[in-house]
Amino acid sequence: MTHFLDIHKTDPVALRGIIDNAQAMKTARAGRTRGATDDEQPLAGHMVALIFEKPSTRTRVSFDVGVRQMGGETMLLSGADMQLGHGETIADTARVLSRYVDLIMIRTFDESVLLDMAEYADVPVINGLTDRTHPCQIMADVMTYEEHRGPIAGKKVVWCGDGNNVCASFLHAAGQFGFDLTFTGPMQLDPEGEFVGLARKSGSRIVIERDPVKAVEGADLVVADTWVSMHDSQSTKERRHNMLRPYQVNQELMRHAKADALFMHCLPAHREDEATSAVMDGPHSVIFDEAENRLHAQKAVMRWCLGV
């Protein structure tokens, strides 16, 4: 079964193939009406279940539209409305869904839900974000970087803020795509040591630098994300904001990156917190290309999973 669970669990050759295919599909659609189907219909006759246990705008819409462009159909399911939310096990849910659908995408809280789904499903499972990782986002981000600046291998990426689930997938991508990553944020919010270790083992230079100005020196790409993720308790908001305020990405900080550095944010953003509007809407920013590329990258992920 070809699941897409995480970037570090996916073969680098397959990852490269997915990015290339995503770009080819994007190019093939140039000039088309947004809702139009693709010439190729590799998902014709396929039903895709999209399960959301957390809110979503981009993941939900881009998967839904992507499946339809490729000729397939989708079923949007909210965890709370399923028996899953009333005590049915993940294993039983996975076995039942496998009798109806060809592919499952799930956004959930605890990673164990995703892993159980993958273990017991007879169809491919895609990680649409867990508390721990967000691989589809970083596939779109790598695609976006390369679209603007060429190969990401050997480049310096700087993550500013919370060492969260999106940061984790960036670390995985550093190892697999061969770029370097500097994390700058408070010690309490460092990324998981296991993920830092994995990226280093793959040969990437991973640096932890508490001073944001030093961190962004020479950066090719600066990345920010929300200071309070969906899995974080709102009661921690003030404390997190106080710790993270020095790591805001603003024009002054961007001045220390390379002149042609890109700025990314997976969105949704809290403008004037983790990043200012001047940066988000400024010349370095590619945030809406990133959002668009979720569509193309995930289409390629689904084709890879299904072998179509």
Annotated catalytic residue 107: yes
Is 236 a binding residue for ligand CP by CB under 6 A? The answer is: no
As to burial, measured by CB atoms within 10 angstroms (0-12 exposed, 13-18 middle, 19+ buried), residue 1 is exposed
CA distance linking residue 229 with residue 55, whole number of Å: 11
What's the closest the beta carbon of residue 301 comes to ligand NVA, in angstroms?
16
Helix 165-177 vs helix 12-28: crossing angle, to nearest 10: 100
Q: Which of 6, 89, 75, 12 is nearest to 47 (CA)?
A: 75
**Residue 92 CB: number of other CB atoms within 10 A?**
12
With CB cut-offs between 5 and 8 Å by kind, which of ligand NVA, ligand CP, none does residue 176 bind? none
| Annotated catalytic residue, options 8, 29, 46, 134 | 134
| Annotated catalytic residue, options 266, 284, 298, 305 | 266
Q: Are 263 and 287 spatial neighbours (Cβ–Cβ below 8 Å)?
A: yes
CA distance linking residue 284 with residue 278, whole number of Å: 10
With CB cut-offs between 5 and 8 Å by kind, which of ligand NVA, ligand CP, none does residue 204 bind? none
Annotated catalytic residue 231: no
Closer Cβ to ligand NVA, 43 or 113, answer by number: 113
| Out of 37, 41, 202, 229, the residue judged to bind ligand NVA by CB under 6 A | 229
Is 137 a binding residue for ligand CP by CB under 6 A? The answer is: yes
Is 58 a binding residue for ligand CP by CB under 6 A? The answer is: yes
Contacting residues for 29 by C-beta, under 8 A, at least 6 apart: 36, 38, 69
Annotated catalytic residue 134: yes
Q: Considering only 5-13, 245-253, 264-272, 279-287, which stretch makes contact with ligand CP by CB under 6 A?
A: 264-272
| Out of 21, 23, 41, 56, the residue judged to bind ligand CP by CB under 6 A | 56
How many binding residues for ligand CP (CB under 6 A)? 9
| Out of 4, 26, 59, 177, the residue judged to bind ligand CP by CB under 6 A | 59
CA distance linking residue 219 with residue 215, whole number of Å: 8
Q: Considering only 15-23, 55-63, 177-185, 243-251, which stretch makes contact with ligand CP by CB under 6 A?
A: 55-63
Is 230 a binding residue for ligand NVA by CB under 6 A? The answer is: yes
Closer Cβ to ligand NVA, 170 or 304, answer by number: 170
Residues 23-52 that bind ligand NVA (CB under 6 A): none
With CB cut-offs between 5 and 8 Å by kind, which of ligand NVA, ligand CP, none does residue 93 bind? none
Q: Which of 214, 216, 195, 302 is nearest to 262 (CA)?
A: 216
The 264-303 contact track toward ligand NVA, x by CB under 6 A, reads --x-------------------------------------
Active-site residues: which are they? 107, 134, 137, 225, 266, 294
